Amino acid sequence: MNPIFYVAKNELSMVLKNPITYLVCAFITAYLTISIVGSSAVVPIFTSMYDHTVAFYIAISNSFWVLTILFVILSMCIGITSMVKERSSGSLRVLTAKPLYRRDIIIGKFLGLSLFLLILMVLTEAIFVSLLIMVNGEPDSLLDLLLRLSSFIILMFLNCSFTLGLVMLFGILFNKAEALVLSMAFVSIEWLQQANVDFQFLGQIQQLIDPMKLYFYTIFVYSGNYCMGTLFQTRLSFDAWLSHALPYVALMLAEVVLIVLINSAVFSREEM
């Protein structure tokens, strides 16, 4: 077995045993349950105002930010645990003593944790939308729903992958307390971005380097100050949304690759 896949498999089994994983999953389950119950009341109201498909996508979009933040928090928790806990317990020394390149350890850990996040995101959205359909009926086009839902999962995955990579970097460079504080500060900033708080000192470059800003610009399509539509609004065709979003998706992917490369380079020079 390729050493990277060996580390990834081991990391995947470790995160499945982490109690924090089940705690966050419990929050996700509770939130989705509340959302399904709420949709049974909200969807008929919006159906009477617009049509059923529009109402269905409104029910999905209502879960957009909360699910994103819950998965960001999960990414932060498992990323910190992966590096800081294993450094303090000495298990990283066991890995570095094996015939593995240090970059293989970092890439393997990142792939294992990322795979877990992706699987959980797919299962969460599949269950959520399936229950929405059972409770409220299906939208006009299941293909359009699949395209939009798959795109949302990919975007959330890229956003959380960057968070994962960043907190792993904190875990490489700092002790447990410092890594935790920095990670919480980063997540707090993402919350501020949700509240549309701009950091003026960064200027226009913020739109190109801030992961939450990139995430925001992939979901929403603006012309000047006017919102033309979102990924969850059928007034904007999926093709139109995709042509707008692709450049931002490319930047998000580039940030994920860059943080993994930085982690690999830094970890290769760190003393355990």
Distance of CA 59 to the CA centre of its chain: 20
Of residues 42 and 152, which shows the higher confidence score? Answer: 152
Query: What phi and psi, each to the nearest 5 degrees, are found at residue 226?
Result: -100, 130
Task: With a cut of 80, say whether residue 207 has pLDDT above it.
Answer: no
Residue 59: which domain range? 3-269
Q: What is the pLDDT of residue 54?
A: 82
Residues in the chain: 272
Q: What residue type is assigned to position 255 of the chain?
A: E
The phi and psi torsions of 266 (rounded to 5 degrees) equal: -70, -45
Percent of the chain whose predicted confidence (pLDDT) is above 90: 26
**Count of helix runs (H) and strand runs (E) in the chain:** 12, 2
3-state secondary structure of 36: helix
Higher pLDDT, 64 or 223: 64
Provide the pLDDT for residue 135: 86
The pLDDT value recorded for residue 9 is 87
Asked whether residue 158 carries a pLDDT value surpassing 90, the answer given is yes
**What is the average pLDDT across 19-38?**
89
pTM: 0.86
Average pLDDT, rounded, for the chain: 81
Q: Indicate the range of 61-70, 78-87, 133-142, 210-219 predicted with least confidence.
A: 78-87
Q: What are the contacts of 210-213 at 24+ separation with CB within 8 A?
A: 211/159, 211/162, 211/163, 211/252, 211/255, 212/159
The residue behind tokens 């380097």 is 209
Q: What is the DSSP letter of 7?
A: H
What digits encode the pLDDT tens for the residues 36-67? Answer: 888 887 777 777 777 778 888 888 888 888 88
160-187 pLDDT tens trace: 999 999 888 888 887 777 777 888 877 7
Q: Which of the given ranges, 14-28, 31-45, 222-236, has the highest pLDDT on average?
A: 14-28
Q: How many domains does the chain have?
A: 1
pLDDT bin (cut points 50, 70, 90) of residue 194 is low
Determine contact, residues 178/89, Cβ cutoff 8 Å.
no
Q: Would you state the pLDDT for residue 208?
A: 60
Sequence-distant (6+) residues with CB within 8 A of 270 are 172, 173
Selection from 125, 127, 190 nearest residue 154 by Cα: 125
Alpha helices in 90-194 (DSSP H): 91-97, 102-136, 142-173, 176-194
Instruction: Please choose, from the candidates 66, 158, 68, 166, the residue with its C-alpha nearest in 3D space to the C-alpha of residue 118.
Output: 158
pLDDT of 214 above 70: yes
Nearest to 71 by CA among 18, 125, 34: 125
Structure confidence at residue 200 as a pLDDT band (50, 70, 90): very low
Residue with tokens 């819950």: 70
Q: What is the mean pLDDT of residues 221-236?
A: 80
